[in-house]
Amino acid sequence: MNLEFNKNEDHNRQLVNQLQRKLRQIKLGGGADRIEKHHKKGKLTARERITYLADKKQPFLEIGAFAGEGLYEEHGGCPSGGVVTGMGYVQDRMCVIVANDATVKAGAWFPITAKKNLRAQEIAMENRLPIIYLVDSAGVFLPLQDEIFPDKEHFGRQFRNNARMSSMGIVQIAAIMGSCVAGGAYLPIMSDEALIVDKTGSIFLAGSYLVKAAIGEVIDNESLGGASTHCEISGVTDSKYDSDEQCLDAIKDIFSKLGSSENAGFSRVKAVPPKVDPKEIYGVLPAERVKPYDTMDIIKRLVDESKFSPYKADYGKSLICGTTRIEGWSVGIVANQRLVVKTKKGEMRMGGVIYSDSADKAARFIMNCNQRKIPLVFIQDVSGFMVGSRAEQGGIIKDGAKMVNAMANSVVPKFTIIIGNSYGAGNYAMCGKAYDPRLIFSWPTAEMAVMSGASAAKTLLQIKVSAAKTKSEPMTKEQEQEYLDHITEKYNSQLSPYYAAARMWVDGVIDPLESRQAIAMGIEAANHAPIIEKFNLGVIQT
């Protein structure tokens, strides 16, 4: 190993260590003191409930762990959005699990909580997976009610999804393990089966204080909406249990009796690990983002047996396309090539930039994968499409649109891993969040924005300088540098993968070594949903 490899490895391992430290902190939820108070009530925490419920020898893929990071600081923060969500297995049945974290503001719903819950429901609906709700929430966080209540992607959308999933035949099981208040009461009751824990679970449209204020009735919460009331009198809930563990055991029993479902028929053989050590990814990926590297060196460390069958290997070299297997699953990969490539015409092409021929190649490859029912994996390290007169005259917009059209209309499931840059229209063409990847994850090395911090700062500086000259108030060199530094610093802070993950632009930030498992679980989930749409491009410019 050379010095450059060692330098890269040290840098990237530090980023992974930082990721692991952040995750350890997030998993404390509202903090050790609140966890202790939770335990004194005889309750398990959200993460303890998931650990008890999910199969021990199977992986749990968390979705949105960093949701809310750095947001709502004026309200004391909202670690992980106050809810834990992910894909796991219960009684060998893959499912989605949603567990309110009552150690965070009593499980109250912040705007990001709604976004995260809706993402979990979206995953269940797209993949036709059963979903389990472990409910323990005080309802909407009232100081932010205007950001969570009435809009299409707000709180109420989850109840619409409850109804839609029911009509689709998707199993929904809800366990009321704490408070379940106001509008939130509809979520468990719109599920197929509603379980409740005695003495700690409660469900009502209005609590005792509001009932007294509204109609003058004096009643305690247990009599108003406790387990006995709803299992013996109202019939709102189906069965009650003495503890969290008994309730979770009942869910396991329900899942042990579920019938089998259809599948999409994606190809899978016995998984084989890469021949080239995946841990070497840390040394291959440059610490300095501007440095070129061969993306095939990454791919070989991600795929089974390090085998890859390229598509049009000698054409459109700024994009790598080809078929392979990941954990036994057949996949088609579209990846940005970061090498500087010299064409036969002597043209030097920058790495990470999409050119016309590359876009054309990718569009054709995506069509082939749809024809052959092969899921697609996009590996992003993209600076955008090529610009300039030569590119424009060559039809870069037309060819880029063709690629976007093929990718957007793809009916096979798509998965995206952002390993480096994810800038501008490159993010779109390489299946960014706006294009419905079944799962999208970032490595700690990722950066996402319209353009790099340096490019954005220089562009904004030019506008500022031009405006100042128009007003006959030219800026000094010192003022220009100060403005440039300020914009660069601000912009760079927004490039962080954690900034994106906090806002659910990605499903999470993962260690590169977790990529194979994340993709494999995503395809296994997608295999539960037979493809019923036909691939159709519509109108494209040729």
Give, for all 542 residues of the chain, the pLDDT tens digit.
689 999 999 999 999 999 999 999 999 999 999 999 999 999 999 999 999 999 999 999 999 999 999 999 999 999 999 999 999 999 999 999 999 999 999 999 999 999 999 999 999 999 999 999 999 998 888 889 888 888 888 888 999 999 999 999 999 999 999 988 877 788 889 999 999 999 999 998 877 888 888 898 888 888 888 888 999 999 999 999 999 999 999 999 999 999 988 899 999 999 999 999 999 999 999 999 889 999 999 999 999 999 999 999 999 999 999 999 999 999 999 999 998 877 667 677 777 899 999 999 999 999 999 999 999 999 999 988 887 788 787 778 888 899 999 999 999 999 999 999 999 889 999 999 999 999 999 999 999 987 666 677 777 778 877 777 777 778 788 877 877 777 777 777 788 999 999 999 999 999 999 999 999 999 999 999 999 988 888 777 66
> Which residue from 275, 281, 278, 340 is spatially nearest to 8, judged by alpha carbons?
281
d(C-alpha 375, C-alpha 412), whole Å? 5
The phi, psi pair for 392, rounded to 5°, reads -65, -45
> H-type helices in 27-45, by residue range?
32-40
Residue matched to tokens 């089974």: 304
Nearest one of 33, 88, 19 to 56, comparing CA atoms: 88
* Pair 376, 412: CB distance under 8 Å: yes
| Rounded Cα gap, residues 184 and 176, in angstroms | 11
Task: Match 């793809």 to its residue by tokens.
Answer: 410
* CA distance linking residue 121 with residue 114, whole number of Å: 11
Rounded alpha-carbon distances, angstroms, from residue 486 to 13, 72, 254, 394: 29, 24, 57, 37
Q: Which of 181, 168, 183, 187 is nearest to 129 (CA)?
A: 168
DSSP 149-191: SSSTTSTTHHHHHHHHHHHHT--EEEEEEEEEEGGGGHHHHTS
Helices 453-470 and 477-495 cross at an angle (nearest 10°) of: 140
φ/ψ region of 35 (left if φ > 0, alpha if ψ in -120 to 50, else beta) reads alpha
Q: Print burial letters for 15-38: b (CB count within 10 Å at least 16), e (below 16).
A: bbeebeebbeebbbbbeeebbeeb
Nearest to 411 by CA among 266, 515, 514, 291: 266
**37 phi, psi to nearest 5 deg:** -65, -40
| Residue 217, helix vs strand vs coil | coil
Find the DSSP H helices in 287-395.
Answer: 296-299, 356-371, 389-393
Residue 99 near residue 46 (C-beta atoms within 8 A)? yes
In angstroms and rounded to an integer, the radius of gyration of the C-alpha atoms of the chain is 25
Residue 102 is encoded by which pair of tokens? 């009552």
Count Cα atoms within 13 angstroms, Cβ side, for 172.
Answer: 27
pLDDT value for 40: 94
User: In a 10 Å sphere around its CB, with 0-12 CB exposed, 13-18 middle and 19+ buried, how is residue 463 labelled?
Assistant: exposed
Per residue, the 3-state secondary structure of 236-266, as one string, reads CCCEEECCHHHHHHHHHHHHHCCCCCCCCCC
Name the DSSP letter for residue 326: E
Give the pTM. Answer: 0.93
Contact between 7 and 288 (Cβ < 8 Å): no
Centroid of chain to Cα 190: 25
Return the biggest CA–CA distance within the chain. 86
